[in-house]
Amino acid sequence: MSRLSPAAALAVTALLTAAPQPLNAQTPAPAAHSPMSGVLAIDGKQVPLPEGAWTVAGDRTDGEGIHHRVLVQVQDGTVTGAVMIHATGKGVPAAWGLAPGCRRVDLPFAQIRYASDHDGSCAYVTTVAAGHEGPMDPAWVSALGTIGERRWRLPEHWAATVIRVSDRLGAVQVRYAFPLTDDALLVESLPGWTVGAWNAVEQGLLNRLDPQQSLPLPGGINAPNRDADAGGLTVPQAVWKTLTFRAVVTTLDFTSNAIAIGNLTTAALLSAWNTLTGPWVYLAHELAWDYFGATSTPDRDLPGLGEEAGILTGPT
């Protein structure tokens, strides 16, 4: 279960609870390349942005009506952050499933909050060697062109949080990427930061964000490191179901044996084999259905900044 430390929770709460501003689900998108901050409105959804000014560097809509947009943050000629957004168009039903990265077991953080055949919410933290390897989003390719034209310096390695939230009315996936340094605080705090950003992205899908408020930057939050949780497997429930099923079946088994044979000892011995082996068969069957049968919507991959790796390593 994901937890945010009390200090982190208070920090995020204080920064997000600001002077009252009117909520407006119809906040118009600013012109391309003009700096923006706070919350980005895109296709009937809100996407929270980290603190500071962000500039649109790439913007495309594909043939399926999916909007791809890349924003970058630049300080002293160096790109210090990137946000990549994928959003379904208004009225376009989403059938994205979960982000494939949410099912990986080699990442420092990967969690699925919920998933079904019509919605899902998951997030993961990864590293990216940006720009040269692996599949890249067309909007990111366009952004690289913009970055090159303006002669901005681009980090070669990123730490990224990827959040995907979908329901029957739409879907949004957000990649927040920050330069991967040897700053242990950034590496350790990013999973904790992800929880707060994840909550905000979920609220943004329902247009419940204050348009003027930003997410805090990672590194400003001291959160404990997280163990990877691949999610998707309801192990505790499967175990409980095994126990209750075994209790019912063994009772019936023993009773029918006792009635047929008339000897309690013999009946118990006959039931013993099933009692020893049956629970493992049931549990394996239950886990297989949880894993392979969890959703009928295939997980659709949406390319990002480059190939996403599991191990957080510093720049070479």
Partner 1 sequence: MRSLGVFGTVTAALAFAAAAARAEPVLRPGDAVNGPYLSIEGVQVPLPAGPWTMAGLSERDELTSAALLRVEEGPASGAVLVQVSSRRVVGTWGLASACYRDDLPYVQTRAASDHDGSCAWVARVRTGPDASSAGGPDSVDPAWEAARRMAAERGWGLPAAWTLTGIRVSQPQASVQVRYALPQVPGPGQPAALWAWTAPTWDAVERGLHNLLDPAAGPLPSPLTAGLPLVGKHADTDGFSLSRAIWKTITFRVIGTTIDFTTNMVATGSIATSLALSSLPLLIGPWIYFGHEIAWQYWGGGTSHRDLPGLGIETGLSARAS
Helix (H) or strand (E) holding 19: none
One residue of 28, 34, 149, 273 binding partner 1 per CB under 8 A? 273
Q: Is 277 in the site for partner 1 (CB under 8 A)?
A: yes
Q: Is 146 in the site for partner 1 (CB under 8 A)?
A: no
One residue of 51, 113, 146, 239 binding partner 1 per CB under 8 A? 113
Q: What is the per-residue binding string for partner 1 in 226-255, x denoting contact by CB under 8 A?
A: -----x--x--x--xx--xx--xx--x---
Q: Is 156 in the site for partner 1 (CB under 8 A)?
A: no
Q: What is the per-residue binding string for partner 1 in 77-96, x denoting contact by CB under 8 A?
A: -------------x------
Q: Is 1 in the site for partner 1 (CB under 8 A)?
A: yes
Please state, in angstroms and rounded to a whole number, the distance separating the CA atoms of residues 173 and 188. 23
- Which segment (29-37, 113-121, 131-139, 150-158) binds partner 1 by CB under 8 A? 113-121
Size of the site for partner 1 (CB under 8 A): 65
One residue of 59, 137, 188, 210 binding partner 1 per CB under 8 A? 210
For 275-296, the three-class secondary structure string (H helix, E strand, C coil) is: HHHHHHHHHHHHHHHHHHCCCC
Place of tokens 């949780």: 229
Backbone angles phi, psi at 231, to 5 degrees: 60, -175
> Within 13 Å and on the Cβ side, how many CA atoms surround 137?
30
Please state, in angstroms and rounded to a whole number, the distance separating the CA atoms of residues 232 and 299. 13
Q: Which is nearer to partner 1, 18 or 53 (CB)?
A: 18
Backbone angles phi, psi at 89, to 5 degrees: -70, 160
